[in-house]
Each structure stands twice: as structure tokens, then as C-alpha cells.
Structure 1
Amino acid sequence: MSDDLELEDCIDACDDCASICLESLTGHCLPAGGKHVEPRHVILMLDCVDLCRTTADFMRRGSPNHARLCAACADICDACAESCAKLDDMEECVEACRDCAESCREMASAAA
């Protein structure tokens, strides 16, 4: 039962991270300009959004490959959190990325 709860928590963390990163990108980064829209940062945020969504989908359908995606998702979320932490007013995105990375890392190690 706790495994199901951990899975649901990880799916929720991935969904939250994808939503918050996309909202931060479109609602804050694009209007702010400057360092917020440097290509490397924008691409990383979009990678984070897409990988979080994909990882959540793998877990939802019970794919036996979800642990691999969780490990990659944790790495990308860590990188996104680090990039966002260097910019102003990105705390919500940083927190969502860190929460997702932690949850995905736990999910990946539990399946190993």
C-alpha cells in the first residue's frame, strides 16, 4: 500500500513541477527577459516540463521502465532548480524542481 502512495506522490510531484515550470517560464521568464530568457535556461525549463510529464505518464501506465525515467527526471529537475535559483523571483519553480527531484530519486532507487 505504501508503494502505491509513494507512486502517487511522485506522479503528483512530476505534475506539479511540469505545471509550475511552464507557468514560471511563460508568466515570469518571458516577460522578465534578460537572463531569464537565455536559450540555455529556456531549453532546460522546457526539458524539465516535458520530462516531468513523460515520467508521470510512465508511472501512470505502470511501465516497467519508469525507474529509468525517474532517475533522468531527478537529474534534469536538479539542473533546472540550480538554473532557476540563479534568477530573481523563481523560488516557486526551484522548490517544485527540488521536490520532484527528491521524489523521483526515491522512486528510482526503490525500483533498483
Structure 2
Amino acid sequence: MSHHLTAEHITDEMHDCITRCSECHDVCSETAINCLSKGAEHAAVAHIRALLDCAQACDASRDFMLRGSDLHASFCAACAEACERCAESCEGMADSDEQMKRCAEQCRRCAESCREMAG
């Protein structure tokens, strides 16, 4: 998804965070489907919930930043927490494959960026 970021309210840091949120949303969504197809512990409710929470938090944070809402910092703080939980869940998989590692890494990058936006 391409965004035309010409609005005055979007700083370079915010642009980076929007990009990371977009990427993290996509990776978490892909990983959720991958995990459901694998079954077993990968399809555990808590793990799928962490993936979907993260994807939705990223989507909401991105949206609040794009429109310049003064609530974006609150959403970014919640997003950082959701991303950390998701990263931990992915890293906790016994047979952590490349998809799990990629998801965890993306979640950590997004969490860091969202923490910066949250202040």
C-alpha cells in the first residue's frame, strides 16, 4: 500500500513509523495464516491472538498517524506493547522457523519505532 505523505504533520520519524507499522501488519497477517496451516502449538489461541492483536494495533496506529490525530501517541504506545507480546510469542515457538524469526524481528523494529512516537 502506497501513501502520499505530503501533509505537514508527518515528520520523518512518523513516516518511518507508518512504514514499519504497515510492514509489521502485513508480516503478522501472513504469519497468522502460516501458523493456522501448521497447526499444533502454532495455532494456539494465545499465539494467534498475539499475531492478530499486533496486526490490528499496527493498522490503527498507522491510521491515527496518517490523519494527524492527537491520539496517535496513545495508539503507538499500545501498538508497541502488542508488538513486544507478538515478538515474544513468535520467539517462544519450539521450532521457530524463518517466518517466526522474521515476524519477531519486524515486531521488535515496529515496537521501537512506536515507542519513539509515543514519547
Q: Given the two structures, how large is their TM-score scaled by the length of structure 2?
A: 0.86
Return structure 1 stretches of 4+ with deviation > 2 angstroms.
none
Distance in 2, matches of 1:13 and 1:98, equals 10
For 1:4, the equivalent position in structure 2 comes to: 11
Distance in 2, matches of 1:66 and 1:75, equals 14
1:58-107 superposed Cα distances (whole Å, 9 cap, x missing partner)? 00000000000000100110000000001221011001100000000011
Aligned residues: 107
Distance in 2, matches of 1:96 and 1:55, equals 15
* Structure 1 residues 1-112: aligned runs within 5 Å: 4-26=11-33, 28-87=34-93, 88-89=96-97, 90-109=100-119
Gaps of 5+ in 2: 1-7
Name the Cα RMSD after superposition.
1.2
Distance in 1, matches of 2:39 and 2:81, equals 26
Query: In proportion to residue count, which structure has more helix?
Result: 1
- Give identity over the alignment, percent: 48
1:25 deviates by: 1.2
Partner-residue secondary structure (3-state), 1:63: coil
Partner amino acid, structure 1, of 2:15: E
Gaps of 5+ in 1: none
Q: Given the two structures, how large is their TM-score scaled by the length of structure 1?
A: 0.92
